[in-house]
Amino acid sequence: MSSLYRKYRPNQFSELVGQDHIRGSIEGMLKSNQIGHAFLFSGPRGTGKTTLARLLARAVNCVGKKKGVEACGECEICLEIQNGQSVDVIEIDAASNRGIDEIRDLREKIAFAPARSKYRVYIIDEVHMLTKEAFNALLKTIEEPPAHAIFILATTELHKVPETIISRCLRYQFHRAAPDKIVAILKEIAVKEGIKLEDEAALLLAERAEGSYRDALSLLGNVSGEKDLNATNLRVLIGLPSAEVINQLLSAVANGQPKTVASLLKAFVEEGLDVGVLVRSMANSCRAQIFNSQGSDVSVTAPLLEELLLALAKARHSIDATSLLCASLISASLTRENKGTQVTASSEPPASTVTDLSEKEVQTAPSVDTVSATPVKVDDSGAFWPSFLAAVHEKNHALYAVVSSAHFEGVTDDKLIIAVKFRFYSERLFELKNRNLIEEIAKQIAGRKLVLECLVKADLDSGTNKEEDLLSTVVEVFEINE
């Protein structure tokens, strides 16, 4: 793997990508020569925290500065720091086992003057990983640092850094770089590397890197064997879904076609591709549509984008992100499938049903009451339903997944009436083998023949099921677990 990142690591404050808000403040500090002693750099990975720490270490120690605040990059001190050979710039990886020893060592040596430079700079990466003891040791040190010491703490997880530490530091929040900033730098580097990089391909890399300059460069490094990069060959090289798949999925979700969504997802997962990348690509596509719409109708795209982003956020904390994302997409399509359809009876009403409404009337019926007579509950303790659920559970797990999310409306003399949230569930229940099983179980429990009737209520609160349960139900129904 070629390390383009090492080769093109920013060498000056002005080369930091997307961190202008930090650069201004650091430069101001250097100009006024009021150097802080403890800094805390927080933000996503690959956005330049360690790079800025090294640039800062150089800037405060450079002896060859001509004018301005940038280090000369040529004096002995600059070169030593650049090459990681300076005895006065000490990098500690808090994630390593040696964290506590290194902090102890730091405390013992801190009082001694730097060997060659004006300041001894301690860069502590992933500082949130320090143990409690190590944090306490560090705290004592940064409470009263000697004039020659500078601490630069870097973290991707600010919330795990104790408040006592945070409050003693100058804080800088790093941002993900905007795609156009990363695109510009990728194009520059591609030219230097003799790679023909199409605009659209550069944008794909930037989007895939999610605002991380480092990730963008290592992605480009990974595919730099190909000297002519366009959107099509790049997608294949970095495992991005094709524009066609993205468009098909978006339209299947927007048009409420859960079966199409499920089969597209299934094919995608079976290819061994990352659904997270797929959903992000879908979100990027929605965002581009919104930005390019110039105020025209975004009533379909905007809510969809919001749902995709929420799903991604949720997936970040999920133990099974793939299933959660698949479920979210199917759920999104199911919701749209039912839009405007408040109530329908089964798509295939059994001949013995008492209702005298034709199928057409049933489909457009405005309320539950017109579909059937008010159900007479045979059992006010509700003993029928739990026994029924238990029996279904024993016989067929996939069917149970649907039935358990249904609402028990009641039983009449000859009918079992339940309500489901999605038309798709109703169709599933009326598949012949499912319906036979349901009616057979119902007969055993009620002691007489009951015919299944199913209402679709889009606003149904799926009983005891929380949203998560609903999602896992959807996954089970479509059998798209990995």
| Chain contacts with Zn ion (rule: CB under 5 A) | 62, 64, 71-72, 75, 78
Q: 376: exposed, middle or buried (C-beta count within 10 Å: 0-12, 13-18, 19+)?
A: exposed
User: What are the residues facing 193 on neighbouring strands?
Assistant: none
Closest CB to Zn ion among residues 53, 305: 53
Q: 87 or 354: whose CB is closer to Zn ion?
A: 87
Closer CB to Zn ion, residue 81 or residue 92?
81
If the CB atoms of residues 73 and 375 are measured against Zn ion, the closer one turns out to be 73
d(CA 432, CA 51): 64
Dihedral of CA 129/130/136/141: which sign? Answer: negative
State the nearest-atom distance from the C-beta of 174 to Zn ion, in Å: 25
β-strand partners of 417: 410, 453
Tell me which residue has tokens 């329908």.
344
DSSP 123: E
| Least Cβ distance, residue 81 to Zn ion (angstroms) | 9
In angstroms, the CA 141 to CA 127 distance is 15
What minimum distance in Å lies between the beta carbon of 172 and Zn ion? 23
Minimum distance from CB of 74 to Zn ion (Å)?
6
Q: Quick check: 135 and 165 in contact, CB under 8 A?
A: yes
**Smallest separation, CB 207 to Zn ion (Å):** 37
Distance from C-alpha of 50 to C-alpha of 56, rounded to nearest angstrom: 10
Q: How far is the CB of 122 from Zn ion (least distance, A)?
A: 20
* Nearest CB to Zn ion, comparing residues 83 and 292: 83
Q: Which two tokens stand for residue 18?
A: 């997307």
Whose tokens are 């405390």? That residue is 107
**Residue placing its CB nearer to Zn ion in the complex, 20 or 76:** 76
Of the two residues 72 and 238, which places its CB atom closer to Zn ion in the complex? 72
* Smallest separation (angstroms) from Zn ion to the CB of 481: 58
User: To 5 degrees, how large is the angle CA 473–CA 476–CA 477?
Assistant: 85
What is the C-alpha to C-alpha distance for residues 89 and 379, in angstroms, rounded to an integer?
Answer: 78
